[in-house]
Each structure stands twice: as C-alpha cells, then as structure tokens.
Amino acid sequence: MRSSKGICTLFCLITVLGLSNIARAGTPADTLRSTISGKKLKRGEKMTYSIEWKGAGITFIKAGTSFMRVDSELTWARDRRAYHIVNETWSNPTFSFFYKVHDRIESFVDHEKLYSLRYQKMLNEGGYHHQESVEFDQEKGKAVYSTGQEVDLFPEAKDILISLYWARLFPLEVGKSIYIDNHTDKKNYPLEVKVYKKEKIKTIFGKVECLLVEPVLRTPGLFDNKGRLLVWLTNDERRIPVLMKSKILIGSINAVLKEYSPGIKE
C-alpha cells in the first residue's frame, strides 16, 4: 500500500496525481503572484481528516487520522518571518497491526511573499523510514538538501505543502486552470490545478456547494503512483478542502474533513 513518497502527501496534493504532458494554458505563475499580492494565511487554522481505505470487496474502513495546521505564532526561517505549516498522519491501532504509518511534513513559508524557506519530512510507513530537509535559498535560486546536494529553483518556488494553501487564496473559476511553480524531490515542475465544476456535497458544515478540482503535474514519471486525486473545496472565501479522493495500488483512499478550526485572519 505504501508508495515511496508517503501516504500523508495525499494532503499535499501529490501522492496519486494523474501525470500528463499538457500545454501550459491557464493562469501563469507571474499573474498568480500579482493576484495574490498582500494576501495572508490564517494563523491557527487546523483541519483534521479521517483517512478511510477501501479494498476490493470491502466497504470503507477508518485507517487513520491526518491534520494540517498553520501555527498561531509566526516563527523565523532563513532570517525571515515565517509561517509554520504542519501536516501529520498516523494509522489507527487496528490498521497499524497490518501497516503502521506515522508521517510528519513541515513547511516554513515567507510571511510576506508566501514562498518556501524550508521544507522537511519524516516518513515512517511499514518498514520504510526516511528523513529529509531542504533549505530554499530564494536569493541564489537554489534548493540545498540535507545531503549537501544543490538544485536550481524556479523564482519564488514553493514546496507542495504551501501549494495547497496558495491555491486556496485565488478566485477559482470553473473551466479554468491555475499553475503553481513547485520544487519537490529535486525537481521543478508547474503544478496545474484544474477546476471542473460546482457540486453540492454533504460535509461537517451541512450540504454545501463545493468546487471540484484536480491537481495535475506536467512532468510525467515524477512519482511511482499514476492515479488521480480529486479535491472538493468549499465554494466560498475559505476554500476549505472538505473531501479528497484518490486511487492507490490496492483500493482507494478518502480523506474526509471531521474537524475545522478557523484560526485568526490577519
């Protein structure tokens, strides 16, 4: 069930994305930077999800829990005031008997320009264990890995965790795409977010109208899994991801929002 990239990266919009070579059409990164100027994240916002797995001939069962949180207090990274975003995922005791998961991903994001300053992950999935940290030297345009390797960056590049929050800040339109310049696993790529339609679904807020979106990577072969990830965002200024659905090698996974704390708006 594990991919080498980690189950919790489902919440980073990347684990099981459909990978395709597409023409760059939609809202380019330069336009996005202009549109987002002056916008801020909600400090203290926290979203908690139930991870539900379904195998062949099996109804959905709860496999674990995941949360995404922006810390209430700003911190420092690379001598810049920064947001601290945390995504943590763990399997429940029953599921852990077969396959234990405890992953933690952290992103430190420039408070003013909302680009990555530092990214680190600690993955523990079954017998797979991996730790990694990346310093984003935006001035020099370099990503410096904990191994010492340096890789060129897109201008104002973002890790995959801040990209989810970045996409939520825009006035998304049905039938249009936005593109976000990402750097992940020593590769640069433009992450396309397609907006398909409006749809009412049942959520913890009642039955609400959502935007159905799909993140799609341009560069094929970046990850092992080649499924699709669909995300339902509330169609309001909050853009809360209330439901995520994806296929994995064995069955499928749903991430269902169970708790939401709005935090504070600057």
What is the spatial distance between Cα 72 and Cα 263, in angstroms, rounded to a whole number? Answer: 7
Q: What is the pLDDT of residue 17?
A: 29
* pLDDT at 219 > cutoff 50: no
- pLDDT, tens only, 188-208: 988 889 999 999 999 999 999
Weakest-pLDDT range from 121-125, 185-189, 232-236, 244-248: 244-248
Tens digits of per-residue pLDDT, 110-126?
999 999 999 999 999 88
Range list of β-strands (E), 126-175: 128-137, 142-145, 150-152
Query: pTM for the full model?
Result: 0.84
**pLDDT(163) > 80:** yes
Residue found by looking up tokens 């069930």 in the block? 1
Report how far Cα 90 is from the mean position of its chain's Cα atoms.
16
Q: Which DSSP string do the residues of 24-36 spell out, in sequence order?
A: --SB-HHHHHHHH
Cβ burial, residue 18 (10 Å; 0-12/13-18/19+) = middle
Contact 221, 168 (CB under 8 A): no
Of residues 106 and 251, more confidence is placed in 106
Spell out the residues 6+ positions from residue 10 whose beta carbon is closer than 8 angstroms to its own. Answer: 16, 66, 229, 244, 246, 253, 255
Q: Is the pLDDT of residue 224 over 70?
A: no
The enclosing H or E element of 41 equals none
* CB-CB neighbours of 93 under 10 Å: 8
Would you state the pLDDT for residue 29?
53
Token couple for 102: 């405890």
Percent of the chain's residues with pLDDT above 70: 81
The three-class DSSP label of residue 162 is: helix
pLDDT of residue 185 exceeding 50: yes
pLDDT of 227 > 80? The answer is no
Interval 20-30 mean pLDDT: 38
